[in-house]
Amino acid sequence: MTATTDGSTGALPPRAAAASDTDIDTPVAAGVHEAAVRAVRRATDFLLARQDAEGWWKGDLETNVTMDAEDLLLRQFLGIRDEPTTRAAALFIRGEQREDGTWATFYGGPGELSTTIEAYVALRLAGDAPDAPHMARASAWIRDQGGIAASRVFTRIWLALFGWWKWEDLPELPPELLYFPKWFPLSIYNFGCWARQTIVPLTVVSAKRPVRPAPFPLDELHTDPANPNPPKPLAPMNSWDGLFQRLDKVVRGYRTVAVRRLRRAAMNSAARWIIERQENDGCWGGIQPPAVYSVIALHLLGYDLQHPVMREGLKSLDRYAVWREDGARMIEACQSPVWDTCLATIALADAGLPANHPQLVKAADWMLGEQVVRPGDWSVRRPQLPPGGWAFEFHNDNYPDIDDTAEVVLALRRVQHHDPQRVEKAIARGVRWNLGMQSRNGAWGAFDVDNTSPFPNRLPFCDFGEVIDPPSADVTAHVVEMLAVEGLSHDPRTRRGIEWLLAEQEPDGSWFGRWGVNYVYGTGSVVPALTAAGLPTQHPAIRRAVAWLERVQNDDGGWGEDLRSYHDAARWSGRGASTASQTAWALMALIAAGEKDSKAVERGVAWLAETQREDGSWDERYFTGTGFPWDFSINYHLYRQVFPLTALGRYVHGEPFTETTIEVVVDDTAAAEAEGS
């Protein structure tokens, strides 16, 4: 079964056969275990060879060419664009163009308008002529889709910086919103941390409305160059969209009467907010977009490029660049060393590597050194909760996340460290912090507590991706699994998480995946958590999940799911070309559900063994991670390695922590006080 790769028709792949409908010729059942053992050995060697000398792992984090285009536009805006960087970025961007002239946001996906516009403009900066065949195809497609006027707000902001779009035709974002109290529905702390870090600097950009001379016109990207900014119709007054559109008109009017001293004070407050959140390595939040907008905002407020804050910020942007052998330069949206390292540690331990193996100990040492021990923006909602989480990136002390913290604890539990007291203290801090970050409904989001306000998503400014951070099944499952391993299965807070997960199961037996694609990821996360927490494998929820996984298994024995399932679950849930990571997620769920000896598991293990390369790796061009479901997709290059190794290791050696659990004493006082606050 294969998914469409050009996105032009959206045609569905053939329906997968049920697990019992199709047999695999090779290897036969008797040889599957031996094939799995060989695959585990080769995958273990491959992964061990790729550990950094400091103890961490990091795979490339591939997104889409807007990262590369906006990097060039930033350099053009600041006057620092150079020929070698431009040439390397253009080489990568051209290589990602599809035959129809468009650019997609994920491999095999449909052309996306804003991404195509930004890629086109970047190539114009690189000197590609508008009448070149590849450029003409792109501009024709852009016009056919409505031109620049139909693109998202963030794309039009970039164009407004060079006069290619009018600031007056963009939603207003006043810096005074920093003064909204935290209880106010549109407080910056009601936005997800990634949106918050981006919106604060953009309030300065919106207030300043800078325009740099455009190096060329973009008439070819308008449906009507004589009328490039056609007004958009208002939504009905009795709708949320209509209400917020009219609110935007009121805010626009405020701009003409805003008190200068108040606006100046608000922009200075924004500058302080930005600078206070710059990390030690110069980045902001360990992710590229907030860094880009923060540099622009501070530059507009008078910070020259040699100012230490600016100098270090620009240096941090260079660290997102991945230089390829062909000379192309790809920009990562962020980097994932903590996440990759804890997942690699779990995979190697579950594959049978001794708990005291020097490379596992080195990984544990590095993870212990990455624990965040100071408050960040999460403490706005939990002021009494002591810190103790882990972040996703190398440097991001302001925003540790609940998912990484849970997985790091699970990884540390698998390592026999030479300083067990240090490990126990770190784990206790992490467990306490995760418990304190539980939302009111009993579940966990990624970064914040109760970040569920419906209003931020309604702002006309926020037309791209998720801007809030509600609890999700995958994050909640990882926390529940961690708490179970820590001997807290019967803690009331763990039980509330379990109850929430059971209530969130889809009618077909799957769970939605917020941070991975999609129902296969959600189900692959939840089932191992529920069984680790003590749910019997014959529980109805577990049996429904098993039945769903068996139904959506592909003819070739693997599992896959296309990102279109976020838009059309009825047709795409659990359906797509088989991938190594998604096959592993399904196997992890089935093995946890007691299905190790089933035909479905045998076929899935055989598929992983057969598709493994000679060097022990797997290939995976499809994107199986998300930043924002559908809108911003991620290909984690290490997923194709760590998850298959984990699944195969559990198939060969059995589930971890099944016979005994480890009891730890956690000081719950602070967490309880935080929950009460």
Give the CATH number of the domain where residue 296 resides.
Answer: 1.50.10.20
177 inside domain: yes
Structure tokens at 619: 């290939």
Strand partners, 469: 451
Strand partners, 331: 321
How far is Cα 330 from Cα 106, in angstroms, rounded to an integer? 15
| 331, 359, 388 - which closes a domain | 331
Query: What Rg do the C-alpha atoms of the chain give, in angstroms?
Result: 25
Q: Are residues 218 and 245 in the same domain?
A: yes
Concatenated DSSP letters for 486-541? TT-TTSHHHHHHHHHHHHH--TTS----SSBSSHHHHHHHHHHHHHHTT--TTSHH
Show Cβ contacts of residue 144 under 8 Å, excluding neighbours closer than 6 positions.
Answer: none
Q: Hey, which of 7-11, 196-200, 256-260 has the most confident mean pLDDT?
A: 196-200
Neighbours of 107 (CB within 10 A): 17
Q: Are residues 325 and 440 in the same domain?
A: no
192 inside domain: yes
The more confidently predicted of residues 496 and 3 is: 496
Average pLDDT over residues 57-85: 96
Contact 379, 385 (CB under 8 A): yes
Q: Are residues 481 and 565 in the same domain?
A: yes
**Count of all residues that appear for the chain in the document:** 677
How much is the pLDDT for 227? 80
Is this model's pTM higher than 0.75 or not?
yes
Contact 542, 527 (CB under 8 A): yes
How far is Cα 115 from Cα 103, in angstroms, rounded to an integer? 6
Q: Is residue 258's pLDDT more than 90?
A: no
Average pLDDT over residues 185-206: 92
Contact 462, 152 (CB under 8 A): no
How far is Cα 671 from Cα 407, in angstroms, rounded to an integer? 19
| 300, 331, 362 - which closes a domain | 331
Written as one letter, the residue type at 457 is N
Average pLDDT over residues 567-572: 95
Element (H, E) at 485: helix 473-485
* Phi, psi at 633, each rounded to 5°: -105, 155
Average pLDDT over residues 50-76: 97
Task: Map residue 199 onto helix, strand or coil.
Answer: helix
Contact 468, 191 (CB under 8 A): yes
Q: Are residues 403 and 476 in the same domain?
A: yes
How far is Cα 156 from Cα 230, in angstroms, rounded to an integer? 13
Average pLDDT over residues 46-75: 97
The more confidently predicted of residues 194 and 643 is: 643
Q: Are residues 54 and 79 in the same domain?
A: no
Q: Are residues 390 and 314 in the same domain?
A: no
The total number of structural domains that make up the chain:
2
Average pLDDT over residues 599-618: 97
273 inside domain: yes
Concatenated DSSP letters for 431-446? HHHHHHT--TTS---S
- Find out whether the peptide bond into 27 is cis, omega within 30 degrees of 0: yes
How much is the pLDDT for 26? 45
| 296, 331, 366 - which closes a domain | 331
Structure-token match 């997620």, residue found: 585
122 inside domain: yes
Is 71 in the active site?
Answer: no
Q: Grade residue 254 by pLDDT with cuts at 50, 70 and 90.
A: low
Q: Are residues 269 and 344 in the same domain?
A: no
Average pLDDT over residues 164-168: 93
How much is the pLDDT for 245? 57
Q: Are residues 555 and 442 in the same domain?
A: yes
**Burial class of residue 180 in the structure, from the number of CB atoms within 10 Å of its CB (0-12 exposed, 13-18 middle, 19+ buried):** middle
DSSP structure class, residue 227: S
Q: Are residues 325 and 347 in the same domain?
A: no
Q: What percentage of residues in the chain have a pLDDT greater than 90?
A: 81
Written as one letter, the residue type at 503 is A
Across 48-57, 171-180, 351-360, least confident range: 171-180
Q: Grade residue 172 by pLDDT with cuts at 50, 70 and 90.
A: confident
| Span 73-106, pLDDT tens digits | 999 999 999 999 999 999 999 999 999 999 999 9
How far is Cα 521 from Cα 573, in angstroms, rounded to an integer? 11
Q: Are residues 40 and 183 in the same domain?
A: no
Q: Grade residue 407 by pLDDT with cuts at 50, 70 and 90.
A: very high
Of 340, 350, 377, 403, catalytic: 403
Domain hosting 521: range is 29-59+336-676
Q: Are residues 373 and 260 in the same domain?
A: no
Structure tokens at 605: 């293990």
- What would the 3-class secondary structure string for 244-264 be? HHHHHHHHHHHHHHCCHHHHH
22 inside domain: no
How far is Cα 68 from Cα 71, in angstroms, rounded to an integer? 5
Across 238-242, 325-329, 368-372, 667-671, least confident range: 667-671
Q: Are residues 669 and 649 in the same domain?
A: yes
| Span 121-154, pLDDT tens digits | 999 999 999 999 999 999 999 999 999 999 999 9
4 inside domain: no
414 inside domain: yes
Q: Is residue 645's pLDDT more than 80?
A: yes
Q: Between the CA of residue 270 and those of 157, 203, 310, 383, 501, what are the distances in Å? A: 19, 8, 15, 22, 39
Helices (H), 287-326: 288-300, 308-318
Contact 641, 51 (CB under 8 A): no
196 inside domain: yes
